[in-house]
Structure 1
Amino acid sequence: MMRWMRQWPIGLACLALAGLLIAAMTLAVTLGSVSLHPGTVWRILLHELGQRFGLALLTPDWSIQHYQIVWMIRMPRILLAALVGAGLATVGVVMQAMVRNPLADPYMLGVSSGASVGAVSVLAFGSLAAAGVYAISAGAFLGALAAAIVVYWLARQGGRIEATRLILSGVAVGYFLIGLTSLITLTSGQRDLANALLTWTLGSLAGAQWDHLALPAALLLLGVLWLVLQARALNALLTGDETAGTLGINPHALRRVLFAVISLITGTMVAVSGAIGFVGLVIPHITRMLVGVEHRRVLPVAALLGAIFLVLVDLMARTVLAPMEIPVGVITSLIGGPFFVWMLARKARSVKGFA
């Protein structure tokens, strides 16, 4: 099956996954404490979209309660889940190519923890009421970038990235930053910050609003487009620095730019959702199993798979133990932990490329 899927044209693969994403999002909107018919959901969505363009496509025949559930509560949250899932999966693809290690992801390498420190610092030393999503995103970006630089520096040995040192450095830096986040919270004197800390450490999409979507959507779109243009360079990184150099690529300069890009994407995603782990580990690996290692194929497919994955995980978070809601990061950890153990067993030999 996997060999057969690798033969699909990339446009057809993306079209099929886009259809699955729409189906997953429709399912997620319909299910919850109040169940809705898919027809009602689509009528509300088409009506609202028509209103935005000055078109009266449908006559409203639904209740105000159904309108508020679909348009004001569930739809922003589901779209945010899709954006965060796509962003984290994209970052995971790039990080694994940069360090030639399929076990790398923003959560395990401490980048998400760095973003959490930056975001919580903005709330602690600024004002909870005044710190908007842009200020939090800026703080999260700086924290993610700093963490990425430290991990990269610690993992270098003799001018090369050693896989074991990378994982150990990421885990060590991540734990340190988690402790730093807790220290900032304890010393800030702000009770409300404890709730923010819980959000960033466990990951949550609750409370998503429409004005939370513009920045992550814009950065994700621009980031994925730019990374697709760098697909040849990312392919070269997989072959090693020496081979990449013979192809006219400066691997060290490229990595510096890539670190900035993935830190910006990770910081923005963490700012709106918290540190959701293992998406950047699981999805890129599955993607490469399905479509191969060519990054012109891997990047768009991973983004779509990541979006589908997190939409479904968020649906589970809302419904499995309803009315209690499970943090999204808890579910991704329950899925990603065993997956990581399986990958360790599968990659027990020295990892020099991707399967």
Structure 2
Amino acid sequence: MNRAPYGLTLTLALLALILAMLAGAFWGTAQLPWDERLRALFRLPDAQPNLQLIVWEWRLPRVLMVAMVGGALALSGVILQALLRNPLADPYLLGLSSGASAAATAAIVWLPAAFVASFGLELLAFLGAMLAFILTLGLAFQPGRGMDKLVLILAGVAISLFFQSVSSFFLHLAEPHVTRNALSFLMGSAAGTRWGDIPPLAIVLPLGFIVVLASAKMLDAVLLGDERAVALGVPLPVLRFGLLSLAALLTGLAVAGAGIVGFVGLVVPHLARMVVGAPHGRLLSIAVLFGMITLVVVDLLSRTLLAPEELPLSVLLALFAAPPFVYILRRVRRGL
């Protein structure tokens, strides 16, 4: 299969991301004249203060957040699929997202707001993601036989269902006004994002990307099998522990930023492989950019299709991800 030139693909993806983010800043429930939008975006002296508030305090933080969430989930998906050598591995199917959301829901429903503000919703979501992933690996690992790929997916589904039931239990006992906020969070939404919510993911995502990019050749070696990877000098236990912890951290921050966002970590890495191939030196940047573009576009559509009402991110993502997911399943069955 012919692959697209990496440089051209990277350039077009960057351009598409910039255009998608500008569209996210320009369009929304408030219909503004184009000249007023440009004045507000560039903060010109004659720009209306209320329009600057809409663009700079409501839309831009949200656009940046969903872009980073999409990139973080795509990067997590690449990590999990490589280290576990399983094409169906992703934060959602392996229970990380559900564990993070259960921890975040518990914090929203039960813990005092001052306590959550002190520890941070991101930290609590990360701990929930780590717990879910440890349970998934524990169920899938068999002494003397290692880890079965099919059992790993089934264990992830089981853990995911368990933590979803835990979240539902918390919501059932919560006050109605708290339940509404938590449900919006669980269905995926970046509404209400402020500039103060940006730094955790803005710091971890670039640093995590650099770490994974520096490990690209080792990830390529892991795809050959554990024995060959060790023979090539890959410190497999250290690599797995470090990168899997990074995947859990990215997932926790993504869930804290935009709630449950499924399928991005599964579908986007496969789409990137179809375009530039499997070597991680090229795959990582394209997958992250594709994830960013995907979620920025989906968030824009969720805000505008039924304006002034908003659709949850999970609704449109499931709709758009279903056809490529079926295609990926067919490729997996054929061993491609």
- Measured against the shorter chain, the TM-score band is over 0.9
**Cα distance change of structure 1 residues 65 and 133 upon mapping to structure 2, 3 Å threshold:** farther
CA displacement 1:179-217 (0-9 Å, x = unmatched): 011223334x44443124313321111111111111111
Q: Does structure 2 conserve the Cα–Cα contact (< 8 Å) formed by 1:26 and 1:38?
A: no
- Is the 2:3–2:277 Cα contact (8 Å) retained in structure 1? no
User: Quick check: 1:110 aligned with 2:95?
Assistant: yes
Aligned: 1:3 with 2:2: yes
**Distance across 1 between alignment mates of 2:36 and 2:18:** 15
Q: Does 1:95 align with 2:93?
A: no
Q: Secondary structure at the match of 1:102?
A: coil
Aligned match of 1:269: 254
Match of 1:44 in 2: 40
Q: Residue 119 of structure 1: CA displacement?
A: 1.2
Percent pairwise identity = 39
- Give 1:275 deviation, angstroms: 1.0
Corresponding residue number in structure 2 for 1:50: none
> What is the CA deviation profile of residues 232-261 of structure 1, one whole-angstrom value per residue up to 9, with x for unaligned ones?
111111111111111111323321222211
Map 1:201-280 onto structure 2 (within 5 A).
201-280=186-265
Amino acid at match of 1:199: S
Q: TM-score, normalised by structure 1?
A: 0.88
Could you tell me which runs of 5 or more consecutive residues in structure 1 were left unpaired when the two chains were aligned.
48-58
Does 2:317 correspond to 1:332?
Answer: yes
| Range with greater deviation from structure 2 (339-348 or 291-300) | 339-348
Shift of residue 129 of structure 1? 5.4
Distance 2:166 2:279 in 1: 39
Structure 1 residue 317: Cα displacement: 0.3
State the match for 1:25 in structure 2: 21
Pairing 1:35-184 to 2, within 5 Å after superposition: 35-36=31-32, 40-47=36-43, 59-128=44-113, 130-132=115-117, 135-157=120-142, 158-184=144-170
TM-superposed deviation, 1:124: 3.3
Count of residue correspondences:
335
- Structure 1 letter corresponding to 2:6: W
In the TM superposition, what is the alpha-carbon distance from 1:133 to its structure 2 partner? Answer: 8.4
How far has the Cα of 1:130 moved from its partner?
4.8
Gap regions ≥5 residues in structure 2: none
Determine the C-alpha separation between the residues in 1 that align with 2:250 and 2:118. 14
Q: Deviations over 1:294-340 (max 9, x none)?
A: 11111111111111110000011011112221001111112223332
2: CA distance, partners of 1:221 / 1:99: 23
Amino acid at match of 2:151: R
Kindly state the Cα deviation for residue 32 of structure 1 after the two structures are TM-superposed: 2.0
Amino acid at match of 2:166: L
Q: Could you tell me how far apart the structure 2 residues matched to 1:107 and 1:211 are?
A: 26
Q: Which amino acid aligns with 1:3?
A: N
Taking structure 2 as the reference length, the TM-score comes to: 0.93
CA distance in 2, matches of 1:175, 1:76: 32
Query: Contact between 2:39 and 2:46, CA under 8 Å: does it hold in 1?
Result: no
SS at match of 1:326: coil
CA–CA separation in structure 2 for the residues paired with 1:276 and 1:133: 25
CA distance 1:241–1:42, shift in 2 (3 Å)? farther
Match of 2:300 among 303, 312, 315: 315
For the residues of structure 2 that align with 1:248 and 1:159, how far apart are their CA atoms?
23
CA RMSD after TM alignment: 2.0
Structure 2 residue aligned with 1:56: none
In the TM superposition, 1:297-312 aligns within 5 A as: 297-312=282-297
User: Matched residues in 2 for 1:326 and 1:148: separation?
Assistant: 29
